[in-house]
Amino acid sequence: MNVVRHIEDARERSPRQTALLFEGTAYSYQELDTLAGQAAGVLRGLGIQPGDRVALHLPNTPEWVYAYLAILKCGAVAVSMAPALASAEVRTLAADCGARGLITTGELAERVARRALPGLEWRLIADGDGEASLGGRMRRQAGEFAGIERRAEDPAAIVYTSGTTGAPKGAVLTHGNLVFNARSKVRYLGIRAEDRLLLFLPLHHCFGQNAVLNAGLAAGATVVLHRKFETGRVLDSIRADGISMFFGIPATYAILHGQAQPEDLRGVRYFFSAAAPLAGDVERRWQEKFGAVIHQGYGLTETSPFASYNHERRHKPGSVGTPIEGVAIRVVDPETGRELPPGAQGEIVIRGPNVMAGYWGRPEETGQAIRDGWFHSGDIGWLDGDGYVHITDRLKDMINSGGLKVWPAEVEGVLSGHAAVLECAVYGAADAVMGEQVRAAIVRRPGAQASTAEIRAYGRERLADYKIPAAIEFRDALPKTPSGKVLKRVLRDEAAAPVKGARAESRDAAAWQAWITDWLAARLGVPRSHLRQRMAFADLGVSSILAVQLAREAAEESGTRLEATALWRHPTIELLALAIARLEAGRVRAMAAGSGE
């Protein structure tokens, strides 16, 4: 067994069939396999043996593809590294996996100096000429190089997890994992040799590498490779290159929904989304506009990644489908490990030939992740009566606000339905009184306008009040990993930074009385006239949770450090308004003094 048999078999069947199309240049299966064979000859000449690790620090280019195939032909292990990594990060990953060599570009090599990688025996430049050039050495090699036979359990690739909650770990994917994944993708997605698969997802990530590239090659189809997602180029490629299958992440579909017209996508017969939960509203609006279903799958880097699919027979909106053949999925209690009945929320665990061998060099963390053959995903979800999987959220992202559980994905799904919202991330920030407070970072659609009050009002019509974000920030973009996952730990770190007041002027107590009265009238569902300025908040029906929410939103509005317990210290609308007015005036004076006005 060797993953690379897919391209070798396709070369035998259809040597002239286009395997790869990149910026107008086509590579047939024969040409691509020849390039991979020449590169494999170079690696063997450098002493690479089965099981050795070779790092790929390359962007989405043909060089990435044939270098990856060459590593597999040698029986070595391909280690994926994002091209955006800094020198220190490349050094850390190379040392972590014990890479013998690294393949990169001339531009990236300037960023990652040779002396910064002391553990490497060699470094090759994929573009350019010279002794260190991969291309120059390849020209001296024959193109015939059959992949070395490997066992199903032998490592084929190390793909580093995205590191959304901490340091990346190297998931070891075997030849058996990757062959199973590719065959399953071909079967469930119905990939045919005549298909053209659009691939702008990063090749260093499991989605682009395994679910699209390896699956496309296994089907003998054509992979149309892009350096990255650029709306105009993607739409042009769909028309000019005859794209029939489209793969993206939820943000891709949100962007295209606003910028593409039905005629732009008419030639695409299949749409697929993964890597993050697809909001139900995005799914519904896409189908209404384009008349096409967005198919979903579920999996993780550690499951190579395919685990479930929605669906070859019966598609269920809002679900990620049922386990693929050969794979089992359960929902268990995160604390006891006890299997839960349909409808009950718990941690999703997965078992099957798709589950990784483990984390490279991390036996303890491997033991925590894989127990009795079941991979513990860290995702929270539930199974319905038909066995369909529904993802709720990440276990580590759950927010505990005053003892009440808030699942960010639920809130994100609601807020994403607002016409002005392009992307939304909900997360928890430390709070001395509530434990955590609910916060949201929102990217508005181009040209759209919406205030925090409008977003909260929209959410309040659809969610319990304790789930409404206490703080909402509008941003130009959300911090993400190269694969498109939102880095909520970055948002949490930023939330812990000092308050930044945006207003350059202060409001008087009367203005704050009006603001507080409006806020309470909306939350309590009573006319403004019922809210007397000197009546105690407790007598007005303000609960302790609502009191903290009012204090937090007033702090955000004023740009001050108003304490969460402010309503206990200032127990009426009149007194609270006076306190906020003083704090805001002090902040504005400090701003003026700092600017020299």
Question: Which domains does the chain carry?
Answer: 28-150 (3.40.50.980), 398-495 (3.30.300.30), 509-595 (1.10.1200.10)
418: Cβ contacts below 8 Å, ≥ 6 apart:
450, 454, 455, 458
Half-sphere exposure at residue 399, Cβ-oriented, CA atoms within 13 angstroms: 29
pLDDT value at residue 485: 74
pLDDT value at residue 114: 67
Is 307:354 a contact under the CB 8 Å cutoff?
yes
pLDDT value at residue 597: 42
Q: Kindly state the DSSP code that residue 486 receives in the 8-state scheme.
A: B
pLDDT value at residue 554: 87
Rounded CA gap, 43 and 299, in Å?
32
Indicate the length of the chain as a whole number. 597
pLDDT value at residue 254: 82
Rounded CA gap, 76 and 50, in Å?
5
pLDDT value at residue 523: 79
pLDDT value at residue 164: 47
Residue 442 β-bridge partners: 424, 474
- pLDDT tens track of the chain, all 597 residues? 999 999 999 999 999 999 999 999 999 999 999 999 999 999 999 999 999 999 999 999 999 999 999 999 999 999 999 888 878 788 889 999 999 999 999 888 877 766 667 778 999 999 877 778 898 899 888 878 999 999 999 999 999 985 544 567 999 999 999 999 999 999 999 999 999 999 999 999 999 999 999 999 999 999 999 999 988 999 999 999 999 999 998 878 888 988 899 999 999 999 999 877 787 778 888 999 999 999 999 999 999 999 999 987 888 888 999 999 999 999 999 889 999 999 999 999 999 999 999 999 999 999 999 999 999 998 889 999 999 999 887 767 778 776 566 878 888 888 989 999 999 999 988 765 566 789 999 999 988 989 988 999 898 888 877 788 988 989 888 888 766 778 887 888 787 765 444 456 778 889 899 999 988 888 787 788 888 888 888 788 887 667 877 887 888 788 887 877 788 788 899 999 998 998 888 877 776 665 544
Q: Which of 153, 207, 159 is nearest to 185 (CA)?
A: 207
Half-sphere exposure at residue 438, Cβ-oriented, CA atoms within 13 angstroms: 32
pLDDT value at residue 395: 67
Is 327:187 a contact under the CB 8 Å cutoff?
no
pLDDT value at residue 499: 47
pLDDT value at residue 392: 82
Q: Interior CA angle at 29 toward 302 and 232, to 5°?
A: 70
Task: Pull the structure tokens for residue 540.
Answer: 């007005």
